[in-house]
Amino acid sequence: MVKLFISTFALIILASFIVHFDFEKNISEYKLEIPEGFPKPVFPEGNELTQERIDLGRMLFYDPILSLDSTVSCASCHDQSLAFADNKSISPGIKNRLGVRNAPTLTNVAYNPTLLFDGFLKTLEMQVLVPIQEHAEFNSNIVDVAEMLKQDSTYARMSLAAYNRMPDPYVITRAISSFERTLISGNSKFDQEVFQRKNVMNRSEKRGMNLFFNQLHCTKCHSGFNFTDFSTQNNGLYQVYADTGRQRATKLEADRALFKVPTLRNIALTAPYMHDGSIATLEEVIQHYERGGISHVNKSQFITPFKLKARQRKDLINFFNCLTDEEFISNPDFSNPFE
């Protein structure tokens, strides 16, 4: 599996050297709208955003052709109406096979310096290979997928327009990543209140915001415009974890049971919570933090017990609801192009 992954990736890197130069000069850059209060995302060289690339990536994202039996697409587990997460603890892939982790939101994924809960994989382009080849996701092979796409005149045409070459692993990984980079969410009630300076949050929501930012320790990890410092941490879910988290990638004891700090944007839409979907509601997440988590050698020093009144818990949840971005989940540019 790992070998297959590495050899496919080598193939893609190799392919990247033979891009047509005239074409590169002529591409028209797509202007990504950056919300108030957000930094400019850093994109990898050689895959500048263009409308053609985004359009192709959007089709591929929604097309079950990527899975071995054409039953599952990226959108099966990353659903726009749920902020590109889903509502299952573990999402089934082809033939209802179950993986081991909860599907995370793709909200503002352009900003993530690392992908997956391990906090190790560096680019979206590399990440695309994971679901395509995972036994419990698409159980397919990117070279076979490319062959199928070449036979399809629409894909062949769109691929030439986007990258000046026929569909191949280079095109598939870069086009899907281009679409994913447009999934920017920055117009929640919180953004309108704080960054756009409109007075839209009510008293309870503001009390919740104050608890979150000033009274609890949440922003030791869920900090910044995207409510994450992008680090990997242990927040005390178990004494013994079935999933070893970042250690899977690094093999280091110090990384055992560390998971990437998730964004809290659109958090009301992405239940159940945590890497294994083991916590069903936000109320229960808050109770988990109030208990100070379960003791673990790698548990962060910032996970310590505290006590909230029922009203404060409600305030905090009302604040979380302000992180929902209705425009994001209904934006027609992000929807299924086949419907």
264 binds ligand HEC (CB under 6 A): yes
Q: Give yes or no for a contact between 290 and 305, defined as CB atoms under 8 angstroms apart.
A: yes
Q: Which of 108, 326, 124 is nearest to 226 (CA)?
A: 108
Size of site (CB under 6 A) for ligand HEC:
51
Number of H helices, E strands in the chain: 14, 2
First-residue to last-residue Cα distance in the chain: 34
289 binds ligand HEC (CB under 6 A): yes
Contact positions with ligand HEC (CB under 6 A) in 162-181: 176, 180
Region binding ligand HEC by CB under 6 A among candidate stretches 27-35, 47-55, 148-156, 258-266? 258-266
Place of tokens 């004494």: 239
- What is the CB-side half-sphere exposure of residue 154 using CA atoms within 13 A? 7
Region binding ligand HEC by CB under 6 A among candidate stretches 3-11, 33-41, 270-278, 323-331? 270-278
Region binding ligand HEC by CB under 6 A among candidate stretches 44-52, 98-106, 156-164, 181-189? 98-106
CA distance 36 to 32: 13
259: enclosing H helix or E strand = strand 259-260
In the bound complex, what is the minimum distance in angstroms from residue 227's beta carbon to ligand HEC?
Answer: 9
Cβ-count burial 254-271 (b if 16+ within 10 Å, e if not): ebbbbbbbbbbbbbbbbb
112 binds ligand HEC (CB under 6 A): yes
What is the per-residue binding string for ligand HEC in 24-53, x denoting contact by CB under 6 A? Answer: ------------------------------
User: Could you list the residues that contact ligand HEC (CB under 6 A)?
Assistant: 61, 66, 72, 74, 76-78, 91, 93, 99, 101-104, 106, 109, 112, 115-117, 124, 127-128, 131-132, 137, 176, 180, 216-218, 220-222, 233, 235, 237, 259, 261-262, 264, 267, 270, 273-275, 285, 289, 300, 302-303
